[in-house]
Structure 1
Amino acid sequence: MLGAAVVMTLGLFAPQSQAFAGAAAGDPAQAAAPGTTASRAIPVPKSPHAISANPRFRLSSQDTDEETGPRPAPATAAAKTSKSGKLLAGAAGDACSDLSGVINNTGTALVTALKTLPQITCTYPLFGLTGQDARNTFREDKMVTVANALRDASAAYNGTNGNQIGQLVLFLRAGYYVQDNNAATVGDYGTALDGAAKGALDAFFAAPRSKDVTDANGAILNEVVTLIDSTQTAGRYASVLKWLLGSYVSSWPGQMNLSMQHVEWVVDNAFAAKDDGRGFRAALKADPTILDTWAGFITRNGASLNRDDVVSNVGRFLGHALDVPELKERLRPLLKDIINRYPNVGPTAPITMNLGWATRQFDRGNCAAYAICDLGDRVLPLVLPTQHVCNDGIKIRAQDMSPDQLATTCTSLINQDAYFHRIIGDKGAIAGDVNTNLEVVAFDDYTQYALYAWAIYNIDVDNGGMYEEGNPAVPGNQARFIAHEASWIRPTFEIWNLNHEYTHYLDGRYNMYGDFEAGMVTPTIWWVEGIAENISYGYKGERNADAIAEAAKNTYKLSDLFDTVYGQEADPEVNSNRVYRWGWLAVRYMLQKHPSDVQAVLGKYRAGDWTGARTLLKQTIGTRYDADFATWLATDCATNDCGTLPDAPAGPSETAPLCTAADTRQFDQNCRRDGLAATTGNYSYHFVYLPAGVKQLTLTATGGTGNADLYYGGATWATTSAYQAKSTNAGNGETLTIDNPPAGWVFFSLAAAQDFSGVSLSTQVK
């Protein structure tokens, strides 16, 4: 799970990642969003930029139980090696001595070497030790020695670092950190250290001055609180956490405030520990008044809620106690009060929305107990006020997009439609598919998406967005792409994965029969994600450097990639690599080398013949292309960036002969005209003479850019207000079939819903 307090550009805390995976029966707040039915839900990968761009962004330790190192030392204070080869404690410049005594000594000499360091920051380089130095420094017997020294020193603790107690604490913290990352090198830690560490912490917290509300004590206390997390003893020291929660006020000095901030790490990891390995859940059951103190911590400091605050960050974890069944009854009124006490938008949203999420995650079906069954409806108009229609097929709902950004997004999607059909071909929409309209939802950034999308749209937010097809056979169904802006590249504007997800919409409408679940009865992910990656990169003219780098590794056979499914590999990163990068490679190879096979497989997909498609892939093709795929990876990808996407095999509009009439408006009975164009609101008018007895006239438009809609007027000119039939898809892929048309001149036109050019239009008479 991704940590809920994800701080991004606006500094808002986002709800926990597994916000909601499915609706619970009888809970209105967990029903599908209006206009949706059974979901075809495809998650979007999180952007690595969204994680790394902001230095305050931290993955929750629910993703990893790795202990967190100290705040970075000043850049001028990096560890240095002297001419004699000694490791220098450079965190405080020349004021720090070398650390060779800490690395090489044991027993009393080790403790003396630590206490000789003039200040706490001199220990910072210890967190970076590796190899034999890490082994020499942090093996268990030395950790026990320092833990016992901390126990003894704590008896005389006076609320300051006068006796260098902080250096002992930081040594232990560094040891746990380095061992966690280099266990094979450092060696295991066992019961001896476990007992010594508990003895040291017991002694420190027993010292009366450990509760001094001063910067001097806070400088030590904040590190000791983190040591609770390092030693995985949250349950044992629940009373300490209760004291911190019950005593904290926003006027605490900075170092004491930091102690409160570090409580987040402790409770975050404590709730995430499997089988209550840290004893925290048992401690809460033994003393449930901790919950009242925790709630009071929030309400007492309500005036401090400001998006980026310790109260929201620590307070949100109160909701996780709902995962302890024995605590539900006590928690429900506390959470109801907090969630409804403060607004769900603005500075107080991080606490109210996170706690709201927790009620659904851990107490599903009980939204009424918290008075939040209508939470999504409440926040929708406040969070997503902008509504914009691109054309009949695309509309946008946004949190904050300028008119220029809206127009740019519309143009990108409309033009992509033509590109998609150029690569795939255009055989019309799947029979019975009524997903004629896509809604693009754009939150301002990832944090806003994670904060609100789970409540409004009932989706998991541990991703970079979600495409929901719904049931394309149900009239009124709303296909929807729920996304967020790529805030890390501002001032450049971009909706993260917009073109990838729009390809899913087009693919679902033109290639994949039924809803998403129908297409998952056999492995189709190689195509679903592979074509989305290919169209997205190809349309934007971008080089897929990551996939090209993967090609050099020759990790998978093509026949194995036909078996790709979500969650196939144990490592999520490896699985994502297989799904997206290797999907891109597999589809690109097949489109280049075996386009007829692709069309054959798509023919099965369009008919919902999943078993037939599987037979084509695994038996007819089987392993026949594996050797050539490996050669292609090693040659085309190494020297030509895996080549380019070829156009689809020619369809009727491309194979028909060019029209011969001098009047460019006039068509023969079976011919085509290329390069047609018109500006927004105008027309490209045409007509054809039909003899008596024609059974069927087919008009087909393809290719080009922009958005041209096709209208048929019969014996009169065809316009958007006077017509007998129309085809108004997004882009230029339009087809009309007129049965038993009248004899004589009949008229049709391309109407420019948006400037279009380069369109081909053909007639076919039967």
Structure 2
Amino acid sequence: MRSISLAALCIALAAALATPAQASPKPYKTPHQAKIQARQPAAPRLWQHRPPTDFQARYRLQDNRTVIGRPLKKLIRHAATPQCQDMNALASHSGADLANYLATLPDYTCAYGLFALDKNLASTIFTPSNLNAAASRFIQEAAAYDASSMALVNLTLYLRAGYYLASTGTLPALDPNLQSSLRPGIRQLAGGAALFAANAQAPTTANEVMTLITNMADEAYYLPSIRAIIQRYTNSAANPNAALALRESSASRGFTGALTVLFYAHGRANALPLLQNDGSYAAALTQFVLADKTSLIGTESAFQLGDATREGLRFMQYPALLPSIKPQAKTILAGSSMTGAGNEMWLAAAEAVKYYDASHCSEYGTCNFETRLADAVLVNRYTCSPTIRIRAQEMTDEQMQSSCALLQKEESYFHQMLQTHKQPVADDNNTSLEVVVFDDYDNYAKYAGVIYGIGTDNGGMYVEGNPADPNNQARFIAHEASWLRPVFNVWNLEHEYIHYLDGRFDMYGDFAAATQQPTVWWIEGLAEYLSLRNDNQTAIDVVNTGNYKLSQIFGNTYDMPDYVTRAYRWGYMATRFMFERHRADIDAMLPLWRKGDYAGGYMGLMRQIGNRYDGEFAAWAQSATTAGQPPLPPASSLPPCNEGYPNRLGKNCSITASAAGAAYATILLPAGARNLRLWTSGGTGDVDLYVAKDRYPTPSSYDYASASVGNEESVAIPLPQSGHWYYLTLQAKQPFASVSVNASYE
């Protein structure tokens, strides 16, 4: 994901959650790049040991393979069949028959496809009569619910999808009477014990019902019910073990859903008057934290303490309540620590102070806590090269070295495929990338948002920032794929690194500038293509469904209802097709992007292409396989130099070098010379390039260097000193032969 994050596409889950659509961070994802900016503390989130897929995050859907909490009943595993996931088959039902079909689906994930429907299919499935029939069946199932079936959750997902699609414009606004008809059933469920009881068939039921409230943007109506749920799970003299119920999966998910309703309420005009002068919600949440921390610290449900702290202290944003809530924040901070057991509470409180009372941080002892926290958690550091450094929670030297080697190999491949000559776009000061690696997704979710201000409902995020700022630090924030152990893998490492390289060498400006026109097919497609090469059978299968034309994919944005499939699967295939069949068009696009000519030159070129390739693309996809490797572009070099000496370079010319140890070259710059570029390409072996003014450089003493894997090395000197000699040392990492050494200047 690039930062919009893809990033800041949004930028924060919290920001994204503030809309009824409930999509994942809007333009950032996934995977994904994000622009860091001030935001509110993160929203409550379901805790799991693997990151959600982009599809799950976008629509706030749960992974049925992930067990959250400790199920009191052995889960009954079901499988979503291709038949039950067929939305066209579902569309053949209507009215009460549709409601019955939904209620009897064999797995609740069968309904997940409803969130990504196009307008035509959505208008067939979500007619007013169908919605009313599903609502009637929902009310019936709610009254009889005993935590033993999937009927209620299946109907809930259908209703959720209807409201979601209406919020995105895929459907027209739904009848307000539908919301009114659902209120009694939902309120009855929220006030009873059955909804939160262990459901071995569908442990997501309670959370989905709570999420339906936010999809309907009806939080204000349910606020008293939410407060009662918080109090229900608060230890007291009358119920000293109330918190223990939250260690069960169904209740834990449902409690997170209840906190999320409260989170959304702050952004609703009709709920705001009910919150901004009422301290009872913050008091209930603080009491929950203080009363339950002994029961929950050290358990798989300790995260609830952090989420409850965030929601309670979110009321600090209201001036009328701040004086009464400040002591609550100080009490929570005093009873916990930044790095000790129960630090979820401390981190949440410190984050609230940062956003709501930062000018008084010294009163709380939280000033600049992010720096202290990063130093305490990310204790391992490793410099791969002048352009890459790693900061990790738990990585061995061997793991950091192997990650460096992987990135250097990917970097060399990128420059070879895109023929960049390692020349960054103008005004790009992202000269280095910091790769931050948390030990697993749990730690990523716990710390990354607090330290770096990003959403964590993803598998890692590239944060580009403002590349024109000399003090900017581009950063990829990642985690180890702990579920693959003992194999070591930094999740999405290659994909996100391509985002960095693409932003630095191909796309002028920051993420917002690069996405002002529809370039998402390329941004996500290139990252997928260069990281996976031809090995992407999933994308081949998806594209052979024929659901879209290539010309439609060229219009991809980060706001598409079917974003995940179109951006990643179809984007991969569109990019691969252009590389394999129309490389000349890519070579025409790249100079336009590199100078920021998005609206005029690039869009003009795309209008010329139009739909001319649609038929060719569809036929090509039918024959695409995972065999082989992407085609490399022909090696490019300048004409031979004629300077009178075999190792002397001149303007816009090249020499050839071979050596087992080192070879040397020189260039003398005339008056007024600027933008000197020196690069190597082609040949065999592995050469590194070192450059110095008025002296021969060595690998340990140089002015400029390029030392990646392979022979694609490049040095750029925007303001060289005229009248001086520049000396090049071509150092053999492995013996090299027939390497082209090139020079150009203006």
Q: Same fold (TM over 0.5)?
A: yes
Q: Given residue 405 of structure 1, which amino acid in structure 2 is its aligned partner?
A: Q
Partner of 2:730: 750
Question: SS of the counterpart of 2:342?
Answer: helix
Partner of 1:613: 601
Distance 2:716 2:57 in 1: 54
1:391 aligns with 2:370: no
1:180 aligns with 2:156: yes
Partner of 2:297: 306
Distance 1:733 1:521 in 2: 32
Distance 2:548 2:107 in 1: 38
Q: 1:296 aligns with which of 251, 268, 287?
A: 287
Partner of 1:103: none
After superposition, the Cα gap between the structure-2 partners of 1:342 and 1:71, relative to the gap in structure 1 and judged at 3 Å, is: closer
After superposition, the Cα gap between the structure-2 partners of 1:529 and 1:761, relative to the gap in structure 1 and judged at 3 Å, is: same
After superposition, the Cα gap between the structure-2 partners of 1:322 and 1:303, relative to the gap in structure 1 and judged at 3 Å, is: closer
Distance 2:58 2:420 in 1: 48
After superposition, the Cα gap between the structure-2 partners of 1:478 and 1:434, relative to the gap in structure 1 and judged at 3 Å, is: same
Partner of 2:502: 507
Deviation at 1:375, TM superposition (A): 2.2
Partner of 1:762: 741
Deviation at 1:728, TM superposition (A): 2.8
1:559 aligns with 2:551: yes
* Contact 2:689–2:714 (CA under 8 A) maintained in structure 1: yes
For residues 266-281 of structure 1, what are the structure 2 equivalents within 5 Å?
267-268=258-259, 270-271=261-262
Structure 2 gap segments, 5+ residues each: 1-10, 18-32, 38-46, 80-103, 112-132, 161-176, 214-221
* Contact 1:673–1:760 (CA under 8 A) maintained in structure 2: yes
* Contact 1:20–1:360 (CA under 8 A) maintained in structure 2: no
Deviation at 1:343, TM superposition (A): 1.3
Distance 2:109 2:721 in 1: 79
Number of aligned residue pairs: give it: 615
Q: 1:601 aligns with which of 565, 573, 589?
A: 589
Partner of 1:45: none
1:353 aligns with 2:340: no
Question: SS of the counterpart of 2:504?
Answer: helix
* Contact 2:57–2:457 (CA under 8 A) maintained in structure 1: no
Deviation at 1:498, TM superposition (A): 1.2
Deviation at 1:711, TM superposition (A): 2.6
List per-residue Cα deviations over 1:259-310 (Å, max 9, x = no partner): 9857725633542676999x99999889845643542343344444534354
Distance 2:727 2:179 in 1: 87
* Contact 1:690–1:742 (CA under 8 A) maintained in structure 2: yes
Deviation at 1:193, TM superposition (A): 9.7
Deviation at 1:333, TM superposition (A): 2.5
Distance 2:459 2:738 in 1: 35
Partner of 2:690: 710
Task: Look at both structures and tell me which one has the larger radius of gyration over its CA atoms.
Answer: 1
* Contact 1:387–1:395 (CA under 8 A) maintained in structure 2: yes
List per-residue Cα deviations over 1:668-724 (Å, max 9, x = no partner): 9865547x576xxxx52235799999x99975312567671233576x65424666x
* Contact 1:554–1:633 (CA under 8 A) maintained in structure 2: no
After superposition, the Cα gap between the structure-2 partners of 1:18 and 1:339, relative to the gap in structure 1 and judged at 3 Å, is: farther
Question: SS of the counterpart of 1:245?
Answer: coil
Q: Given residue 706 of structure 2, which amino acid in structure 1 is its aligned partner?
A: T
Q: Given residue 556 of structure 2, which amino acid in structure 1 is its aligned partner?
A: T
Distance 1:528 1:200 in 2: 44
Q: 2:491 aligns with which of 496, 509, 513?
A: 496
Identity %: 27
Partner of 1:453: 448
Partner of 1:99: none
* Contact 2:680–2:742 (CA under 8 A) maintained in structure 1: no
Partner of 1:532: 527
Q: 1:438 aligns with which of 433, 445, 448?
A: 433
Deviation at 1:596, TM superposition (A): 1.9
* Contact 1:301–1:311 (CA under 8 A) maintained in structure 2: no
Question: SS of the counterpart of 1:611?
Answer: helix
Distance 2:78 2:522 in 1: 49
Q: 1:374 aligns with which of 363, 368, 373?
A: 368
Question: SS of the counterpart of 1:613?
Answer: helix
Partner of 2:622: 634
Distance 2:495 2:594 in 1: 20
* Contact 1:263–1:314 (CA under 8 A) maintained in structure 2: no
Distance 1:139 1:430 in 2: 58
After superposition, the Cα gap between the structure-2 partners of 1:425 and 1:476, relative to the gap in structure 1 and judged at 3 Å, is: same
Question: What RMSD in Å do the two structures reach over aligned CA positions?
Answer: 5.5
Distance 1:397 1:700 in 2: 30
Deviation at 1:603, TM superposition (A): 0.9
Q: 2:631 aligns with which of 622, 638, 646?
A: 646
After superposition, the Cα gap between the structure-2 partners of 1:590 and 1:300, relative to the gap in structure 1 and judged at 3 Å, is: same
Deviation at 1:199, TM superposition (A): 8.2
Distance 2:109 2:395 in 1: 48
Distance 2:670 2:182 in 1: 97
* Contact 2:226–2:258 (CA under 8 A) maintained in structure 1: no
Partner of 2:394: 400
List per-residue Cα deviations over 1:35-54 (Å, max 9, x = no partner): xxx97579xxxxxxx96869
Partner of 1:522: 517
After superposition, the Cα gap between the structure-2 partners of 1:512 and 1:730, relative to the gap in structure 1 and judged at 3 Å, is: farther
List per-residue Cα deviations over 1:545-569 (Å, max 9, x = no partner): 22111220233333332222212x1
Question: SS of the counterpart of 1:589?
Answer: helix
Question: SS of the counterpart of 1:592?
Answer: helix
Q: TM-score scaled to structure 2, two decimals? A: 0.66
Deviation at 1:128, TM superposition (A): 8.7
List per-residue Cα deviations over 1:574-631 (Å, max 9, x = no partner): 2022122222112211122222221111111112222333244323322222222222
After superposition, the Cα gap between the structure-2 partners of 1:303 and 1:559, relative to the gap in structure 1 and judged at 3 Å, is: same
* Contact 1:702–1:759 (CA under 8 A) maintained in structure 2: no
* Contact 2:282–2:313 (CA under 8 A) maintained in structure 1: no
Q: Given residue 313 of structure 1, which amino acid in structure 2 is its aligned partner?
A: Q
Deviation at 1:406, TM superposition (A): 0.8
Question: SS of the counterpart of 2:224?
Answer: coil
Distance 2:110 2:444 in 1: 39
Distance 1:260 1:440 in 2: 37
* Contact 1:242–1:293 (CA under 8 A) maintained in structure 2: yes
Q: TM-score scaled to structure 1, two decimals? A: 0.65
Deviation at 1:384, TM superposition (A): 0.7
Question: SS of the counterpart of 1:390?
Answer: strand
1:581 aligns with 2:536: no
Deviation at 1:19, TM superposition (A): 5.2
Structure 1 gap segments, 5+ residues each: 1-15, 23-37, 43-49, 80-123, 148-167, 211-217
Distance 1:528 1:334 in 2: 45
List per-residue Cα deviations over 1:125-180 (Å, max 9, x = no partner): 9999999xxx99x9589769x76xxxxxxxxxxxxxxxxxxxx8446x86634543
Question: SS of the counterpart of 1:426?
Answer: coil
Partner of 2:463: 468
After superposition, the Cα gap between the structure-2 partners of 1:272 and 1:708, relative to the gap in structure 1 and judged at 3 Å, is: same
For residues 685-724 of structure 1, what are the structure 2 equivalents within 5 Å?
685-687=663-665, 699-703=678-682, 708-711=688-691, 717-720=696-699
